Structure 1
């Protein structure tokens, strides 16, 4: 029988962030992940937006060159709309290395990391996990679900679960030569990405080619569709389309906005498990880190005071309001089901109004809200050291 203050299920950025903050505050933390190697089975593109880069101390050598240029394409791929920011807007992280760095930071803070260990379930402070040594019972005062879009922890805590999901797939190619102007290419075509976009991010180090959408609408499956797209994707040289030495990624993407019930007296959810992903852009790295800060404040308060009701302040209903506008845009994008509709909608992007709206979405200053800062919780909330 193991005893700990907090059991964190999932060693992605969200779980590692919570574990590090709580361990630094003197709490005992056990982090489990079913992967034996955190540098494998990557699911995310790894796009960090400017607000994250400004607010979090991420290792610069694990981030690709800055991207200021976004190119938007209609289904024909002809006559795209190009938007250029005066600021560095995006950088793509080497996610495997970032996860490994996050694990080292958590261990340095005092958290115990157990890889190759699966969460089997539990309730009322007793949870079963299965690892290299077999099945083990863990007694934890609180459990944190950082276990992805289809969270089992959410089920066991009786919390909300994601039901509005896209499925995405991505290939990552090594780029043969640096590019003069790194760019984020986005293709609006419901045949390629039903309800979402296809993308190419070429920063001169790697090229990420991907698509996502509603799984039932992919005629040839998401992987078959991606293979067809990669053969003609914009922003990628022919020499860089080699099927050799390519990393393949994929998985579900929650786009229903932050869930309403993300905490109970026994624990809470973070990251994809909590639906902390932009409904419109499907960007999840910035909200995942900020929600993890918020979670660390709530759990720290509950552990220090012994009051489980402190987790009530971790309220998805209040935070969900920040997603209202993007939820409406998500609904509108989901209705684009034919290339002619996409082409007509794309025409709006060519107008001054459309370009201004696109710039606001792509280059805006808004981000997920920071945790509340009180005298007792400010040390956790203000700590911005990254992985």
Structure 2
């Protein structure tokens, strides 16, 4: 089988990159080891305002808007409540959203190979194990959209994620009631060592989750989730997990070291979790995922049209990483919170006017990820010719 581009992994990043390339007339094969794209969803699916403004997402698969964020110390007492004048978050119903994006990709001409595992490459041929047996794809470029431990990154000699968290989440249908949709985040190193525990209740579903460093969970991640769900804030009037009808259970690895520096080689590039394209703080993971995917499609399109592999040097992770040092610094600070007292002190700082202002800037701002693409049809397009130029 021949193709212009082989995309490995049909999550949000892979689906978006494949469809964008196919719409521009390129021959794209998209392979995923799952036999159904609506199975084994791992992401909470939180879309921020900037994403909703800039990307064409199917509105029928988005939950009600959320404008309130509440930050809690370990005691859950005296939280910091932040309200925005804008619709800041919407939670995607990810299983049907993936199916819709896959249908869009198919219409654009993407050849979707489900139940197909990426094995590596031999020379210029990529080896896969499909439902019908071995499959060989000769592609000009490969795109690794295959998660935090990317096999494509290994084959292309690119950087791989080193700092990983484990996360688990359960989703419940919530009964009709008077409630202000809100995103509740708890800073408690006993439940979420090095990261956060959360409840996002948009009035339709409640997402209850924890994430942290695996080696800091003495009793395991699932026990921590069970402990948190039993007393989690923001679930007034909602039956607790043992009694509720669970809609979904999710879990997986979360890369939190920031965008990797070397995410492109002459034979291909990385997108999504494979590239570390996750906002180092909460509620921004899918925005950098989509922005980096759009940038990847631009660079691959240019390289294919010019017949010049060197153009993939424009896909520069190191230059983009330098654009959000502040968030990386805050992420490292969060990883150092190891005691309830330190967590309580951190939330107390957020109650001060400067703390509240900083929290609003981070959580309600448009800075989850730098836009790597210059405006089309302007002189700015010339800056793409220089690796590391502002985009």
TM-score by length of 1: 0.95
State the Cα distance separating 1:59 from its structure 2 match. Answer: 1.4
> Could you report, residue by residue, the CA deviation over 1:327-357 in whole angstroms, capped at 9, with x for unpaired residues?
1111111110000111112110111111111
Give 1:107's aligned residue. Answer: 106
State the Cα distance separating 1:281 from its structure 2 match. Answer: 2.2
State the Cα distance separating 1:372 from its structure 2 match. Answer: 3.0
Contact 1:294 1:372 in 2 (8 A): no
Q: Are 1:297 and 2:282 matched, yes or no?
A: no
Give 2:205's aligned residue. Answer: 206
Q: Are 1:220 and 2:219 matched, yes or no?
A: yes
Q: State how far apart, in whole Å, the 2-side matches of 1:372 and 1:308 are.
A: 21
Q: State how far apart, in whole Å, the 1-side matches of 2:70 and 2:365 are.
A: 16
Give 2:188's aligned residue. Answer: 189
Alignment of 1:317-328 (within 5 A): 317-328=318-329
SS at match of 2:231: coil
Contact 1:272 1:288 in 2 (8 A): yes
Give 1:131's aligned residue. Answer: 130
State the Cα distance separating 1:85 from its structure 2 match. Answer: 0.4
SS at match of 1:154: helix
Decide whether aligned partners of structure 1 residues 13 and 238 sit closer, same or farther in structure 2, where only a CA change above 3 A counts.
closer
> Could you report, residue by residue, the CA deviation over 1:170-226 in whole angstroms, capped at 9, with x for unpaired residues?
000111124431000010100010011100000011000000011111121111100
Alignment of 1:71-82 (within 5 A): 71-82=70-81
SS at match of 2:90: strand
State the Cα distance separating 1:280 from its structure 2 match. Answer: 2.3
State the Cα distance separating 1:279 from its structure 2 match. Answer: 1.5
State the Cα distance separating 1:371 from its structure 2 match. Answer: 1.5
Contact 2:191 2:197 in 1 (8 A): yes
Q: Are 1:285 and 2:305 matched, yes or no?
A: no
SS at match of 2:281: coil
Give 1:332's aligned residue. Answer: 333
Give 1:372's aligned residue. Answer: 374
> Could you report, residue by residue, the CA deviation over 1:27-46 in whole angstroms, capped at 9, with x for unpaired residues?
10000001111111000000
User: Larger deviation: 119-128 or 213-222?
Assistant: 119-128
Contact 2:9 2:32 in 1 (8 A): yes
Decide whether aligned partners of structure 1 residues 163 and 141 sit closer, same or farther in structure 2, where only a CA change above 3 A counts.
same
Decide whether aligned partners of structure 1 residues 211 and 93 sit closer, same or farther in structure 2, where only a CA change above 3 A counts.
same
Q: Are 1:312 and 2:321 matched, yes or no?
A: no
Q: Are 1:169 and 2:171 matched, yes or no?
A: no
Size of the alignment, in residue pairs? Answer: 378
Stretches of 4+ aligned residues off by more than 6 angstroms: none
Q: State how far apart, in whole Å, the 1-side matches of 2:339 and 2:19 are.
A: 46
Specify every segment of 5 or more residues in structure 2 that has no aligned partner in the other structure, as ranges.
385-391
Contact 2:144 2:153 in 1 (8 A): yes
SS at match of 2:246: coil
Q: State how far apart, in whole Å, the 1-side matches of 2:196 and 2:184 are.
A: 10
Task: Report the aligned-residue RMSD.
Answer: 1.6
State the Cα distance separating 1:370 from its structure 2 match. Answer: 3.8
Decide whether aligned partners of structure 1 residues 207 and 147 sit closer, same or farther in structure 2, where only a CA change above 3 A counts.
same
Q: State how far apart, in whole Å, the 2-side matches of 1:373 and 1:145 are.
A: 26
State the Cα distance separating 1:123 from its structure 2 match. Answer: 4.9
Q: State how far apart, in whole Å, the 2-side matches of 1:279 and 1:231 are.
A: 27
User: Larger deviation: 117-126 or 270-279?
Assistant: 117-126
Give 1:384's aligned residue. Answer: none
SS at match of 1:141: strand
SS at match of 1:137: strand
